Amino acid sequence: MESWTIENTSLNNQELLTNESLFSLGNGYIGVRGNFEEGYQEGMTSIRGTYLNAFHDITDIEYGEKLHGFPGKQQKLLNVIDAQTVEMHVNGERFSLFHGDLTDYKRTLNMKKGFVERSMKWKSNQGDVVKITSRKLVSFHTREFYTIEWTVEPLTSRPVDIKMVSRVNGDVANFSDPNDPRVASGHSKRSKVTGVKEANGCFVVENETYESCLKVACATSTSFYFDKYDYDFTLDNKGIEEVYTATINEPVSFVKSIVYTDTLRHGEQTVEKAIEILNEERHVPFYEHLKRQENDLNQFWSTADITISGDEELQKGIRFNLFHLLQSAGQDEVSNIAAKGLSGEGYEGHYFWDTEIYMLPMFLMTHPEMAKKLLLHRYSLLDSARERAKEVGHKEGALFPWRTITGTECSAFFPAGTAQYHISADIAYSFIQYDLVTGDEQFFKEYSAEVLMETARLWLDTGHFYKGEFRIDNVTGPDEYTCIVNNNFFTNVMAQYNLEWAKKAFDRLKDYDHSLIEKLGVTEEEAARWEKAARTMYLPYDEERGINPQDDTFLQKAVWDFENTPSDHYPLLLNYHPLTLYRYQVCKQADTILAHFLLEDTADEETIARSYDYYEKVTTHDSSLSYCVFSIMAAKLGKVDKAYDYFMKTARLDLDNTHGNTKDGLHMANMGGTWLAIVFGFGGVRVKESGLSFAPNLPKEWGGCTFHVYYQGNVVQVEMEEAKTVYTLVQGNQLAFNHKGQSITATKDCVVTVTH
């Protein structure tokens, strides 16, 4: 059972901010950081935050020099009304973990049951001893709901006077740090309180944002379980305070029920809706919420869980990553998965390519219905992408923004933002993957085909034919240490695939449904141009080294002087001007190597192997999106030890805070990357038009590893061991797949064992 929990067994003041991210709870809609309900001590920093996925204000982007097409506005995920606060006073002395005497402290994130618990024994300065247990749960059953329970037990013989203070505070702001480009600067206060009221034991605080004029309502109610107590409440123009006082000599418990509604999901009736939901939930006992939560999580873990024998810390790390992916995934029409999920404010709650390339695969192959919702959200941004293409200067097509919440470009630095045109192909790729994994023709016809054709149009308008080849100039690939280049290999292969599939979509639809083709005005000639551009796509290849160059001139540059770069100069982006970085062969992350993973058939195995060896030497992994790709490719190339080393850097990146900025939120793409590294890396899973295939390669450190994949209505359980792989069809009747070149058909109730 321990490998289902993450624990703090002592209080470390240096780790408080990091732990706020690690112990954050969420359900795809609400995210609550792992703050202490009672707060820290005066003078200590806390990023005290509650977020609603996509709930944002609009802020100005400032430029010293603003050129045409630079976005003037961006969205910013807002810290909303703070309902976390619960304070306690024992015989008049305020409880805090930072004074008095703390023993038996334990904080636990229970990932199987989906809640956080703190249990502690505390002795006040006056000598009173109490045992406190606080539990927090953000509900998957009712996405608008979360709840906090405190139980307090006096451990001294004499009765103690206890005071519980519960607050809801609408006067909130975001965290800001002007010196770190990776966290927001300025614009920290972006909403105002517009209403505070009490109605039949419910309290409601309403906020409205400054510019986007979005409203959020937070309805709360509290209960105090003890025979006799006094109660009072106060409302002011910022929020609510409730006070319970009692003299206790036995355990007492306090429960706070919290509901958030917002304009994006609940329209104008946020208050009414919040009260309605609260009234449904507030009378459900806490243990019942726990039960519901566990049921919902069981459903998730049934296919998402991965078990590894032989390394409990790793097992925890993997579940931790999967659990947070679940907690972050927007499942409604207005939200997606932010780069930091709902665990922090880094990257301002924006959605990047991270979703499609790093996170979506886990959902797609374990819970395709969740992947579908993420794709539907991305589809909803297609019109904005069409507008953006025009704004930048394209005649047609859809250019998806590098970072966004509502669909408009929010990147303030285009060389590593808007210039990353590959995001449009990445999105197309994810719709193709969805098609291959689910075979959902209705979805293809209604959504995927349109995305494929509009992005294909972008490529045609971006690239050009030169000496018989189709070339794409002036874009930035995934590696942000080399910006604005011609013929980035990654971009070109992804665009090629995009164009091929646009032609396929045209051919597929024209046989039975012309409506989309007519709506978009696609002609046979246009579709033929897509095919031609794909067929003649220029893919740079260096004869001398036998590798794919990252772009036209990457290999002509000098190699970065790694030997003379002090270790405290990493990450390089915090220590060198971008121009200096661009001038050398040095990669922030996988670029060509990622292309070789996503589209492995575009290069032969020897080229892939040589490229791997070459780029590995010049990659700093300053991006958290890098290790997992290197791990997958090392596994593919049979370098299992190396794959394992890289994998271990992904698995506990946040738990061990190896990037040093977990306080700003969890690295969600890396978390998705952990799943990819196991399933696509060690499991060797691929999904292509030719079908599903496996190529297991178990690291020698592990006794075994079990995972599940969904494929076209079936779910297969894969148990990898050193000497064999066992395939069990746990859903569906029959599934044909390939195991290292061998065709296998698994049928219901029949276990297939392949010995190595």
Active-site positions read 480
> Residues 663, 18: contact at Cβ < 8 Å?
yes
Q: Which of 474, 523, 747, 753 is close enough to bind a copy of itself by CB under 8 A? A: 474
Binding of residue 723 to a copy of itself (CB under 8 A) = no
> Residues 300, 329: contact at Cβ < 8 Å?
no
Binding of residue 396 to a copy of itself (CB under 8 A) = no
C-beta closer to a copy of itself: residue 617 or 748: 617
State the Cα–Cα distance between residues 411 and 74, nearest whole angstrom.
8
47 burial via Cβ count (<10 Å: 0-12, 13-18, 19+): buried
C-beta closer to a copy of itself: residue 462 or 662: 462
Cβ neighbours of 329 (radius 10 Å): 28
CA atoms within 13 A on the CB side of 484: 10
With b meaning 16 or more CB within 10 Å and e meaning fewer, what string describes 435-452?
Answer: bbbbebeebbbebbbbbb
CA nearest to 83, candidates 125, 42, 31, 126: 31
Q: Which of 99, 197, 283, 464 is close enough to bind a copy of itself by CB under 8 A? A: 464
- For 564, the token pair is 């003379």
Binding of residue 462 to a copy of itself (CB under 8 A) = yes
Residues 601-620 that bind a copy of itself (CB under 8 A): none
- Amino acid code (one letter) for 248: I
Cβ neighbours of 536 (radius 10 Å): 15
Write the secondary structure of 228-257 as one string of H (helix), E (strand) and C (coil).
Answer: CCEEEEEECCCEEEEEEEEEECCCEEEEEE
Q: For the CA atoms of 104, 105, 109, 110, what is the dihedral angle to 10 degrees?
A: 20
Strand (E) or helix (H) holding 315? helix 312-328
C-beta closer to a copy of itself: residue 542 or 645: 542
C-beta closer to a copy of itself: residue 56 or 324: 56
The interface region with a copy of itself, picked from 78-86, 328-336, 415-423, 690-698 by CB under 8 A, is: 415-423
- For 4, the token pair is 């289902």
Q: Which of 94, 238, 545, 583 is close enough to bind a copy of itself by CB under 8 A? A: 583
Number of residues that bind a copy of itself (CB under 8 A): 52
- Amino acid code (one letter) for 499: L
Binding of residue 658 to a copy of itself (CB under 8 A) = no
Binding of residue 1 to a copy of itself (CB under 8 A) = no
C-beta closer to a copy of itself: residue 398 or 633: 398
C-beta closer to a copy of itself: residue 552 or 600: 552
The interface region with a copy of itself, picked from 63-71, 223-231, 242-250, 590-598 by CB under 8 A, is: 63-71
Q: Which of 103, 553, 742, 745 is close enough to bind a copy of itself by CB under 8 A? A: 553
Binding of residue 228 to a copy of itself (CB under 8 A) = no
- Amino acid code (one letter) for 566: P
Q: Nearest approach, Cβ of 466 to a copy of itself (angstroms)?
A: 6
Q: Mark residue 397 as left, alpha or beta (left: phi above 0; alpha: psi -120 to 50; beta: remaining).
A: left
Q: Which of 93, 376, 413, 736 is close enough to bind a copy of itself by CB under 8 A? A: 413
Binding of residue 557 to a copy of itself (CB under 8 A) = yes
- For 510, the token pair is 């024209």
Alpha helices in 329-367 (DSSP H): 354, 360-366
Binding of residue 576 to a copy of itself (CB under 8 A) = yes
Q: Nearest approach, Cβ of 200 to a copy of itself (angstroms)?
A: 46
φ, ψ of residue 199 to 5 degrees: the values are -155, 110
State the Cα–Cα distance between residues 428 and 499, nearest whole angstrom.
9
The interface region with a copy of itself, picked from 68-76, 107-115, 132-140, 643-651 by CB under 8 A, is: 68-76
**548 three-state secondary structure:** coil
Q: Nearest approach, Cβ of 566 to a copy of itself (angstroms)?
A: 13
C-beta closer to a copy of itself: residue 460 or 502: 460
CA nearest to 492, candidates 427, 425, 441: 425
Q: Nearest approach, Cβ of 66 to a copy of itself (angstroms)?
A: 5
> Residues 25, 335: contact at Cβ < 8 Å?
no
Binding of residue 188 to a copy of itself (CB under 8 A) = no
Binding of residue 578 to a copy of itself (CB under 8 A) = yes
Q: Which of 211, 446, 473, 656 is close enough to bind a copy of itself by CB under 8 A? A: 473
Beta bridge partners of residue 245, listed in sequence order: 163, 230
40 burial via Cβ count (<10 Å: 0-12, 13-18, 19+): middle
State the Cα–Cα distance between residues 596 and 603, nearest whole angstrom.
7
Binding of residue 392 to a copy of itself (CB under 8 A) = yes
Q: Which of 394, 508, 642, 659 is close enough to bind a copy of itself by CB under 8 A? A: 394
Alpha helices in 393-448 (DSSP H): 422-438, 441-443
CA nearest to 259, candidates 81, 484, 504, 130: 81
Beta bridge partners of residue 93, listed in sequence order: 90
Question: Residues with Cβ < 8 Å from 333, sequence gap 6 or more?
Answer: 376, 377, 380
Q: Nearest approach, Cβ of 481 to a copy of itself (angstroms)?
A: 11
C-beta closer to a copy of itself: residue 74 or 589: 74
Q: Nearest approach, Cβ of 553 to a copy of itself (angstroms)?
A: 5
Binding of residue 398 to a copy of itself (CB under 8 A) = no
Q: Nearest approach, Cβ of 339 to a copy of itself (angstroms)?
A: 14
Q: Nearest approach, Cβ of 289 to a copy of itself (angstroms)?
A: 41
Binding of residue 391 to a copy of itself (CB under 8 A) = yes
What distances in angstroms separate CA 442 from CA 317, 379, 434, one per listed residue?
37, 14, 12
Binding of residue 562 to a copy of itself (CB under 8 A) = no
Binding of residue 64 to a copy of itself (CB under 8 A) = yes
Binding of residue 352 to a copy of itself (CB under 8 A) = no
C-beta closer to a copy of itself: residue 65 or 518: 65
Binding of residue 468 to a copy of itself (CB under 8 A) = no
Binding of residue 443 to a copy of itself (CB under 8 A) = no
x-marked contacts with a copy of itself along 483-522 as a string, rule CB under 8 A: xx-x------------------------------------
Q: Which residues make up the interface to a copy of itself (CB under 8 A)?
A: 61-70, 74, 181, 185, 391-394, 411-419, 462, 464, 466, 471, 473-475, 483-484, 486, 552-553, 556-558, 573-583
